[in-house]
């Protein structure tokens, strides 16, 4: 189970798999030190909109079945990455996963805090392209609602939070090193919104992926060391108290020249997240 966890996550994208096979092979002098890479533990009460996606059937019970992140955007609605519910990640078609759940209010996956709520419906962004990962959004409906106070709003198109240079925070239970050390505790790392040109340069579509500024957002650390990583997908990138991105893909983790690529919230289906 543990093996299928790592295997299916790294299989999600060819370039991710490559990067995991040779972690930090070209990372220069930066040594990611924490998850989310370069992060630190945070209390879920400070960011109650961060949720974990879980299937113990698919990923085993050790870490409560966590395999991706998600964001509570309405009491019974969770946004996550479309690739998180692909058969590549799940190992089987979504329809065969009987125990897809959202874990809310729990920082420590091995603990019993918060609530586990069954997912009753999954919608894929009609504009999602699984080949390029453009429009990497899915909307989950929960079988019972969470408090409205725990939700977060998205930054609407044109919001200043999308501007390059804005400080942002990425949250998740993913790999903290790029070498397969998955976090048990929710972590957060500070990153910066980077100019589209930084990701266009890093991902011109030759080896890895292709960066598309209309549906993707570039963020990271110009000096390396702070980034999302495997297992963080679908989780939130937040700036100015607004959701601006979902962890989507990248080459390696925390490398200065390979920033993180996020699904740009302003490109999500309009009715899926309240904006302001
Ligand atoms: N695709 C990965 C996942 O499924 C997320 C990778 C993010 N990588 C990065 N360097 N920011 O968890």
Ligand 1 atom at shortest distance from the alpha carbon of 68? 12
The pLDDT assigned to 12 comes to 36
Residue 67 in contact with ligand 1 by CB distance below 6 A: no
Task: Using the predicted structure, report yes or no on whether residue 153 has a pLDDT greater than 50.
Answer: yes
Q: Is the CB of 220 under 6 A from ligand 1?
A: no
Q: Kindly tell me if the per-residue pLDDT of 15 is higher than 70.
A: no
> Confidence class of residue 207 from pLDDT cuts 50, 70 and 90?
low
Model confidence over 221-233: pLDDT tens digits? Answer: 999 999 999 999 9
pLDDT tens for each residue of 67-107: 999 999 999 999 999 999 999 999 999 999 999 999 999 99
Asked about 83 being catalytic, the answer comes back as: yes
For residue 174, the CA-to-ligand 1 centroid distance in Å is 9
CATH T-level fold of 1-268: Thrombin, subunit H (2.40.10)
Instruction: Determine whether 233 is an active site residue.
Output: yes
Give per-residue pLDDT as tens, 117-142. Answer: 999 999 999 999 999 999 999 999 99
Ligand 1 midpoint to CA 169 (Å): 15
pLDDT at 36: 78
Q: How far is the CA of 42 from the centre of ligand 1 (A)?
A: 20
Task: Give the pLDDT of residue 90.
Answer: 98
CA distance 125 to 83: 11
Mean pLDDT for 184-204 is: 97
Over residues 187-197, mean pLDDT: 98
Per-residue model confidence (pLDDT) at position 209: 84
Which residue is closest in CA terms to ligand 1's atom 2?
Answer: 230
pTM, entire model: 0.88
pLDDT value of residue 4: 33
Q: Whose CA is nearest to atom 1 of ligand 1?
A: 249
**Domain boundary assignment for the chain:** 1-268
pLDDT, tens digit, for every residue of 16-41?
333 332 223 333 333 444 447 899 99
HEC states along the chain? CHHHHHHHHHHCCHHHHHHHHCCCCCCCCCCCCCCCECCEECCHHHCCCEEEEECHHHHCCCCCCEEEEEEEEECCEEEECHHHHCHHHHCCCHHHCCCCEEEECCCECCCCCCEEEEEEEEEECCCCECCCCECCCEEEEECCCCCHHHCCCECCCCCHHHCCCCEEEEEECCECCCCCCECCECEEEEEEECCHHHHHHHCECCCCCECCCCCEEEEECCCCCCECCCCCCCCEEEECCEEEEEEEECCCCCCCCCCEEEEEHHHCCHHHCCEC
The whole-number pLDDT of residue 123 equals 98
247 lines ligand 1 (CB under 6 A): yes
Ligand 1 near 64 CB (within 6 A) = no
């Amino acid at each position: 189970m543990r093996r299928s966890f790592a295997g299916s996550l790294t299989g999600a994208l060819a370039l991710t798999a490559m990067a995991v096979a040779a972690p930090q092979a070209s990372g220069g002098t930066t040594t990611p030190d924490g998850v989310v890479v370069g992060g630190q533990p945070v209390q879920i009460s400070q960011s109650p909109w961060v949720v974990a996606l879980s299937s113990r059937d698919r990923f085993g019970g050790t870490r409560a079945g966590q395999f991706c992140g998600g964001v509570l955007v309405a009491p019974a609605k969770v946004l996550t990455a479309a690739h998180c519910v692909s058969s590549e990640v799940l190992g089987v078609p979504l329809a065969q996963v009987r125990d897809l759940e959202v874990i809310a209010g729990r920082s420590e996956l091995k603990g019993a805090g918060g609530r586990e709520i069954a997912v009753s419906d999954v919608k894929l962004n009609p504009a999602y392209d699984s080949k390029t990962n453009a429009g990497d959004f899915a909307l989950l409906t929960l079988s019972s609602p969470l408090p409205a106070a725990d939700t977060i709003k998205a930054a609407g198109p044109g919001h200043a939070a999308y501007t390059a240079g804005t400080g942002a925070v990425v949250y998740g239970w993913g790999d903290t090193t790029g070498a397969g050390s998955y976090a048990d505790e929710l972590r957060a790392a500070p990153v910066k919104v980077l100019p589209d040109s930084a990701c266009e340069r890093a991902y011109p579509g030759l080896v890895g992926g292709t960066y598309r500024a209309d549906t993707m957002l570039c963020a990271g650390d110009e000096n390396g060391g702070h980034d999302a990583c495997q297992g963080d997908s679908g989780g939130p990138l937040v700036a100015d108290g607004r959701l601006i991105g979902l962890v989507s893909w990248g080459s390696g983790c925390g490398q200065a020249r390979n920033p993180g690529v996020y699904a740009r919230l302003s490109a999500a289906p309009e009715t899926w997240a309240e904006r302001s």
